[in-house]
């Protein structure tokens, strides 16, 4: 029984040669595959596809931010200190800020009240009443 048992035992060492041969074979196979894929890619696409990156101009940053801020503030100040048309066709005027504050202050508590609605056009009956009040006559059908 001991002879039979000794025949079926595993060796004490691992044989390195088959593992090394398999690893080297795999690396060679992967290298050949990569080379074949690159050759195929270059034959289909060609070398003209690669476009080198172009250089962009440097950003145009403010060279003097304080001076630019002063120019902006002076332009804004000039705009709020003068009269001017916002929309001349609609009659919308820009009023200097100091004058606008005086107007609002003069209205007192009613400064923020809603604007009065525009007057409604007179009706024919309303016109007849006004004429009767003024002239003391009643008009019917356009004749006194």
Phi and psi at 15, nearest 5°, equal -80, 120
> Does position 81 have pLDDT exceeding 80, yes or no?
yes
pLDDT tens-place string over residues 32-55:
999 999 898 888 877 666 677 888
Q: How far apart are the first and last CA of the chain?
A: 149
The answer to which of 15-24, 77-86, 107-116 has the lowest mean pLDDT is 107-116
| % of residues, the chain, pLDDT over 90 | 23
pTM of the model: 0.34
The predicted pLDDT at position 29 comes to: 98
Q: What gap in Å lies between CA 35 and CA 33, rounded to an integer? A: 5
C-beta of residue 133 within 8 angstroms of C-beta of residue 139: no
> Does position 4 have pLDDT exceeding 60, yes or no?
no
> Does position 134 have pLDDT exceeding 60, yes or no?
yes
């Amino acid at each position: 029984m001991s002879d039979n048992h000794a025949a079926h035992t595993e060796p004490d060492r691992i044989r390195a040669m088959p593992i090394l041969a398999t690893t080297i074979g795999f690396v060679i196979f992967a290298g050949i595959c990569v080379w074949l894929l690159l050759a195929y890619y270059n034959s289909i696409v060609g070398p003209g596809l690669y476009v080198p990156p172009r250089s962009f101009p440097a950003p145009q940053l403010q060279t003097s931010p304080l001076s630019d801020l002063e120019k902006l503030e002076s332009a804004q100040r000039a705009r709020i200190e003068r009269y001017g048309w916002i929309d001349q066709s609609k009659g919308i005027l820009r009023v200097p800020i100091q004058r606008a504050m005086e107007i609002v202050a003069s209205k007192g508590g009613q400064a923020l009240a809603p604007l009065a609605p525009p007057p409604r056009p007179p009706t024919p009956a309303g016109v007849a009443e006004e004429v009767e009040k003024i002239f003391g006559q009643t008009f019917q059908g356009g004749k006194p």
